[in-house]
Structure 1
Amino acid sequence: MSARSHTRRDPADAGSVEIQLPWWAIALPAVAFAALLLLILNPADAHAASSEPFVAHLLERIQETVQRMAP
């Protein structure tokens, strides 16, 4: 007894792959990126960085650099 092979019904679909992501797969990384970006742009709100002056100074330099690059 031979097994029936599966064939595609539409030959146009042969090269396309459809990937569907859940909404949170895009929303969570975007929210995390925005939160980290806000901490970098405003190091005064990062309370852990205030204990070490080197880290705070580094974050301020990054903030200055980002502000210079912005139009």
Structure 2
Amino acid sequence: MSAPTHPGIRTTTTGVDTRLPWWALVLPAAAFLVLLVLMTGSDGAQATPGELAGGRVLEHLWQTLAL
């Protein structure tokens, strides 16, 4: 006896549903757009001339690994 299938699910001959839900495409695209806007909208940010942020990160990493 076979079980009834849901009318909204389309299966192929292998029994696998090949469709993606709408949010599986929209959420990654929205996340990409948000990150892109954050990256391009940072024109007003200025680094201080005396300190490099990358150097401070490497210094903290070096101190942490020296334990």
Settle same-fold status: TM greater than 0.5. no
TM-score range, shorter chain: 0.3 to 0.5
Larger % of helix: which? Answer: 1
TM-score, normalised on structure 1? Answer: 0.38
Higher relative contact order, chain-length normalized (CA < 8 Å, sep 6+): 1
TM-score, normalised on structure 2? Answer: 0.40
